[in-house]
Structure 1
Amino acid sequence: MIHELGPNRPPERFYRGGRAIAAFRGEASAAEREPEDWIGSVTTVRGEAELGLTRLPDSRLLRDAVAEDPVSWLGAEHAARWGADVRLLVKLLDAGQRLPVHAHPDDGFAGRHLGCRHGKAEAWYILQGGTVHVGLTREVSVDELADLVRSQDVDALLGLLHAVRVEPGDVVWVPPGELHAIGEGVFLLELQQPEDLSILLEWEGFAIDGAAEGHLGLGFDRALAAVNRRARRVEELAELVRPAPVRGSVFPEAADPYFRLERLPVDGQATVAAGFSLLVLVEGSLVIDGARAAVGSTFLVPASHGPVEVDGVGELLVARPPAP
């Protein structure tokens, strides 16, 4: 069977949210510091035992259910290669304020220095537009970057990045190490590797002690080694930010080893291919596996369920782990 998932919003995050998630899900109110909804999560907030994890309708943690039967949940090929490692975290993210300039480590750095199985590549499907900041406009030395962090020269840090206007239906690919910030008012669906790892280069105006916590416990001298300091030419931005195709896979091929997102417009009957997936209804009204669903509905599909039949008029986003 497939599982409809309710909200899963970790409280008291270090940045503010807006009303976009509540409006999307059809809820009356929104807490100020709940800017993220973790969908189908087997990942905890960094340093927490359970916060961030998804509970199934029968109250079991999804993490525990997958560990008990990875073949049923993830499929035989996935389980043969990766065991019970889902290799995916999906979030709704509502930037009630501009996020700080930050980056995430890659697999090698996270394994060597943090003892984590994954780094944090991520990509976004834009639901409500605005400005995103991604990629350096010029090459920066590690000493210059360290000086800007020490001085908290926010204008200079943000000025290093390309500012790009995004519209609903655009996608943004953020490789590990890439400096980025999400602008105030942007609402998006994020796919990422299943870790909560951020290297913060700024923290003024945010509810976090960045000098103590922004370097993941490594010290900034070591943490900044995970940051890509190479410039992105304007022509290269098309590799990172672009309109999504109307149907099918929407992220660049470079994201495929980490996760996949499919766009499925529906006008009548359609089928979601078999395999572990998370479904997000972003437009219209659909009957999904016999259950009527409105915009903002999210569903968890085990691999053992097989194909999912859909009927109506609307659009689904289908998030999946990498192909084994």
Structure 2
Amino acid sequence: MIERLPSNRPPERFYRGGAQISSFRGEASDAAFEPEDWIGSTTTIFGEQGLGLTRLADGRLLRDAVTADPGYWLGSDHAARWGADVRLLVKLLDAGQRLPVHAHPDDAFAAEHLGHRHGKAEAWYILTGGTVHLGLARSVGDEELAAVVEAQDVDALLGLLHQVDVAPGDVVFVPPGVLHAIGEGVLLLELQQPEDLSILLEWRDFALDGLADGHLGLGFGVALTAVDRTALPREALGGLVRPSPPSGSAFPSGADAFFRLERRPVDGPARLDPGFAVLVVSDGPVTLSGREASRGSTWLVPAGEGSIDLDGTGELLVARPPAP
């Protein structure tokens, strides 16, 4: 059956945030360093054994349930191609402070250097607007980039990136290797490949040891080779940042190989197509197969449940893995 998911907020992250997640979900938590809610997660925080994993109401980890019956959870076509690999991690993220400048490796780098199945492409659906920093405004040489990181010259790092204002309903696609940072005050829904792999170029004002933890244990000499150092022309930003349509596929087409997000307005009886999905109620309440789903609630839909009956007035954000 479909399952309502409680918050899954790893504590004591290295940056501030969490109040906007509490407000969106109608929760009382006032923890200052719980800026992420890992929704329907089969992924752990890098270096951790269990932190980040979603536990179902029956006590099982979602990861174990999917491994035991991938056909039921993910669908026969998905399971035939990828087995029990969900190929998706969904998060709510509240930037209580600007995040550090960072990038994520691609699949090939993650496999060669880390032994991981995936790199980390990600995309954002903006719930509360603000400023984001994305892509190099000019190409940067290896030595210059390494020197800026070593000096922790934050102004220089931010000066290398495009600054973009985003509003609710906008979407941002961040391919692997592209430098980026989320500005203070932004609340977003993030879809990503199911890994926690970040290469940090900045750590000066954050509660972390970047020299020890910023390079995934590889050393910066290797880690920085995963960073795309070529310029992203300003006119090309439109391929990565745009307003989403009011219904249907929300992300730029380049994201489809990694994950999919659908905006689904609800205005009276309708049906949601079958398939594994993580649902976020962005406006409501609505009903899901007769169960009331309030604004801010999150739901897990196994493929084996078939179509889901919708009713009410509101909107769903429907996150799915790539099409098999």
What TM-score results when the alignment is normalised by the length of structure 1?
0.99
Partner of 2:55: 55
Partner of 1:120: 120
Is residue 92 of structure 1 aligned with residue 88 of structure 2? no
Flag structure 2 segments of 5+ consecutive residues without an equivalent.
none
Summarize deviations over 1:242-275 as a string: whole Å, max 9, x none. 0001111111111111000000011112211100
Distance across 2 between alignment mates of 1:303 and 1:112: 32
Is residue 220 of structure 1 aligned with residue 226 of structure 2? no
Partner of 1:310: 310
Percent identity reads: 70
Partner of 1:256: 256
Partner of 1:76: 76
Summarize deviations over 1:189-233 as a string: whole Å, max 9, x none. 000000000000000111110011101011111101000011111
Report the 3-state secondary structure (helix = DSSP H, G, I; strand = E; otherwise coil) of the residue aligned with 1:87: coil
Report the 3-state secondary structure (helix = DSSP H, G, I; strand = E; otherwise coil) of the residue aligned with 2:267: strand
Distance across 2 between alignment mates of 1:29 and 1:197: 27
Report the 3-state secondary structure (helix = DSSP H, G, I; strand = E; otherwise coil) of the residue aligned with 1:317: strand
Distance across 2 between alignment mates of 1:30 and 1:91: 18
Distance across 1 between alignment mates of 2:57 and 2:18: 27
Q: CA RMSD in A?
A: 0.6
Partner of 1:180: 180
Distance across 2 between alignment mates of 1:113 and 1:232: 26
Deviates more, 1:25-34 or 1:195-204: 25-34
Report the 3-state secondary structure (helix = DSSP H, G, I; strand = E; otherwise coil) of the residue aligned with 2:53: coil
Q: How many residues are matched?
A: 324
Summarize deviations over 1:1-45 as a string: whole Å, max 9, x none. 101100000111111114100001101232111000000000001
Report the 3-state secondary structure (helix = DSSP H, G, I; strand = E; otherwise coil) of the residue aligned with 2:63: helix
Partner of 1:270: 270
For residue 172 of structure 1, report the CA deviation from its aligned partner.
Answer: 0.2
Distance across 2 between alignment mates of 1:55 and 1:218: 31
Distance across 2 between alignment mates of 1:235 and 1:271: 39
What TM-score results when the alignment is normalised by the length of structure 2?
0.99
Structure 1 residue runs of 4 or more that deviate by more than 3 Å after TM superposition: none
Summarize deviations over 1:156-185 as a string: whole Å, max 9, x none. 001110000000000000000000000000
Kept in 2, the 8 Å contact 1:152–1:202? The answer is: yes
Kept in 2, the 8 Å contact 1:123–1:192? The answer is: yes
User: Where does 1:108-257 land on structure 2 (aligned, <5 Å)?
Assistant: 108-257=108-257
Partner of 2:286: 286
Kept in 2, the 8 Å contact 1:104–1:120? The answer is: yes
Distance across 2 between alignment mates of 1:195 and 1:122: 10
For residue 130 of structure 1, report the CA deviation from its aligned partner.
Answer: 0.2
Flag structure 1 segments of 5+ consecutive residues without an equivalent.
none
